[in-house]
Amino acid sequence: MASLMAAYGRLPVSMLRGEGARLWDDKGREYLDALSGIAVCSLGHANPVIAEAIASQARELMHVSNVYNIPQQEELGEQLCRVSGMDKAFFCNSGAEANEAAIKIARLHGHAKGIATPTIIVMDTAFHGRTLATISATGNQKIKAGFGPMLEGFEIVPFNDVAAIEVVASKRDDVVAIMVEPIQGEGGVNIPDEGYLKALRALCDQHDWLLICDEIQSGMGRTGTWFAHQHEGIQPDIMSVAKALGNGMPIGACLARGAAAELIQPGTHGTTFGGNPLACRVGLTVIQEMERLDLINRADELGKRMLDGFHSALHNQPGVRAIRGQGLMLGVELDVPCPELVRNGLDAGILFNVTAGNVIRLLPPFIITNEEADEIVRRICDLIIDFLQHADLPASSSAGSNA
């Protein structure tokens, strides 16, 4: 890999083929995928319906400039607005680009109100992408290292802390929006208290701020509703989606409603590849397949089954701090850092990752069988128990702690 920049700490494996929830490497070894390419391949690998949509559209028309009407883009926009309750869509190629569009809309909102330094409230353990604007909006200091100066215009507060936002509101008159992941993925599968999103909605209404929900990881059915904020019955002003929208085809979208949906005008924002016929045809097929197979309810059922399995297997296990999840967005938090578990899993033929240093994150595809869900739980619990038996646990670790 001498010709590649060292952007990734890659595992020593080359995947050549996939089918459903399974992958095979260049040596023919099989792996059970509990990560879905980090919440991307919700319909499974090499899905034949998606593959046929790609092949069919590629034979017809792959790309045309956004200076022309694109029927597939218009239809996908209508379908996304239907399932989300939003008014309009802007299509791009990734989640980071969708968040860039959201940030730009928030700034347009501020400047329209005569605010010269529009500020967005963001969360300390958030992750919104890898572009310069989105790392500026991300609380994780590690991903900012070496890239300063950061973009101005972000006020960082603790996640799941309404009072901290109220303090900001009392001190600043240049806030224009709150940007939040309804459930944080990269931050450690952090689920806020019930009522948190409703409180943010009320604060935005009170102060004429926009509520931006980053649904890039938690959206498209992952948590058992189309979008995670729908669990609280609230509606954001702006929402970003990507990942599972394309099941592997790069696509992102920024959705907006009300006045926020009117702020992007010709010449204010754009993209060369975003919303091309191929990507939008795939996005449409993903939505159709999710509805045809009732996969949102299935994600909810599977998530509950797996949570029950983890609680049953790891109850009273010293070193397990917490087990949490919503739908098929699951995390097991340990008392000690555990990045080596990812390699242990690879050796054992099961794929997942560790985030926030000590949280085993699971994002399996929605098409797994009950037996595969049980197999994931069993194999990961075996890895966790074996790891903890050899770990140097803190004295505070004790049987029955939060698990």
Q: Which two tokens stand for residue 49?
A: 């319906």
What's the rounded Cα separation, in Å, for the pair 100 and 132?
9
pLDDT at 253: 98
pLDDT at 403: 52
Contacts (Cβ under 8 Å, ≥6 apart) of 38 = 217, 243, 353, 363
Burial class (CB in 10 A: 0-12, 13-18, 19+), 267: exposed
| Percentage, residues of the chain above pLDDT 70 | 98
- Do 273 and 339 belong to one domain? no
Q: Does residue 122 contact residue 139 with C-beta atoms inside 8 Å?
A: yes
* 253 in a labelled binding site: no
* 96 in a labelled binding site: yes
What's the rounded Cα separation, in Å, for the pair 352 and 380?
9
Residue 381 — φ and ψ, nearest 5°? Answer: -60, -40
pLDDT at 2: 86
**Domain closes at, from 276, 293, 310:** 293
* 230 in a labelled binding site: no
| Residue numbers annotated as active site | 127, 214, 243
- Do 102 and 222 belong to one domain? yes
* 60 in a labelled binding site: no
- Do 59 and 42 belong to one domain? no
Any idea what DSSP says for residue 7?
Answer: -
- Do 288 and 307 belong to one domain? no
* 216 in a labelled binding site: yes
400 has pLDDT over 60: no
**Domain closes at, from 293, 315, 343:** 293
pLDDT at 140: 83
- Give the chain's domain count: 2
Residue 2 located in a structural domain? no
Domain that holds residue 317: 15-46+294-390
Per-state percent for the chain, helix, strand, coil, to nearest 5 = 40, 20, 45
* 272 in a labelled binding site: yes
- Do 183 and 212 belong to one domain? yes
With residue 297 as reference, give the H or E element that holds it. Answer: helix 295-314
At residue 395 the predicted structure's pLDDT band, cuts being 50, 70 and 90, is: confident
Q: What angle do CA 272, 274, 279 make, to 5 degrees?
A: 130
Q: Which two tokens stand for residue 160?
A: 């799941």
**How confident is the model over 196-201, as a mean pLDDT?**
98
342 has pLDDT over 80: yes
At residue 142 the predicted structure's pLDDT band, cuts being 50, 70 and 90, is: confident
pLDDT at 397: 77
Q: Which two tokens stand for residue 198?
A: 């409703």
**pLDDT tens profile 91-122:** 999 999 999 999 999 999 999 999 999 999 99
Q: Which two tokens stand for residue 192?
A: 């806020």
**pLDDT tens profile 222-257:** 999 999 999 999 999 999 999 999 999 999 999 999
- Do 168 and 52 belong to one domain? yes
- Do 266 and 314 belong to one domain? no
Question: Does the pTM exceed 0.85?
Answer: yes
Average pLDDT, the chain: 96
